[in-house]
Amino acid sequence: MSLFPTRLLHLAELLVGDLKDAGLKIVTAESCTGGLIAGLLTEVPGSSAVVERGFVVYSNEAKREMLDVPGDLIADFGAVSEPVARAMAEGALNNSRAHIAISVTGVAGPGGGTPMKPVGLVHFGAARMNRRLEHEMERFGDIGRGEIRMNSIETALNLARRMM
């Protein structure tokens, strides 16, 4: 029995298989998902061959200290923003031995939202060695903390697969 929904476990199995076939490793940099992406990936048997490490960077300080996200970037754009999601992915790649990095930062709720950054707004970053950074944004809406986090995992895994 998995801790995660079948649809997510299937996506994780596909990603782990793709990474194995390509001889690549992945690193995660997670804020609002709190390590759930790394947790899901490690549900897959044999994932130790491809999961290099995961960073849970819930606080701004952790983003700066562990991923080298510039403090002025957070101050200027906020932790939930495209520039920070990109910097998180790049920082995860630079602070690991992985080939692909995926990052997530968002407002999972139920509080913490603002008119400019409402509950359900999530930014994703992806980086691959010797390639440009990618970004995706989702507005899931105020559908509940658990659903926002599960939808964020799905989006992140699909983005990681596109980086292959």
Closest CA to 100 of 69, 124, 66, 131: 131
pTM score, two decimals?
0.97
The single residue listed with the structure tokens 């997530």 is: 104
Rounded mean pLDDT of 39-48?
Answer: 98
Question: Is it the case that residue 31 has pLDDT exceeding 80?
Answer: yes
Q: State the average pLDDT for the chain.
A: 97
Give whole-number Cα distances, 108 to 51, 120, 142, in Å: 25, 6, 8
The values of phi and psi at residue 133, to 5°, are -80, 150
Please list, in sequence order, all residues whose beta carbon lies within 8 angstroms of the beta carbon of residue 114, skipping any fewer than 6 positions away: none
Question: Is it the case that residue 1 has pLDDT exceeding 80?
Answer: no
Rounded mean pLDDT of 88-115?
Answer: 97
Q: Which of 19-23, 25-29, 123-127, 128-132 has the lowest mean pLDDT?
A: 128-132
Superfamily (CATH) of domain 6-162: CinA-like (3.90.950.20)
Contact 95, 66 (CB under 8 A): yes
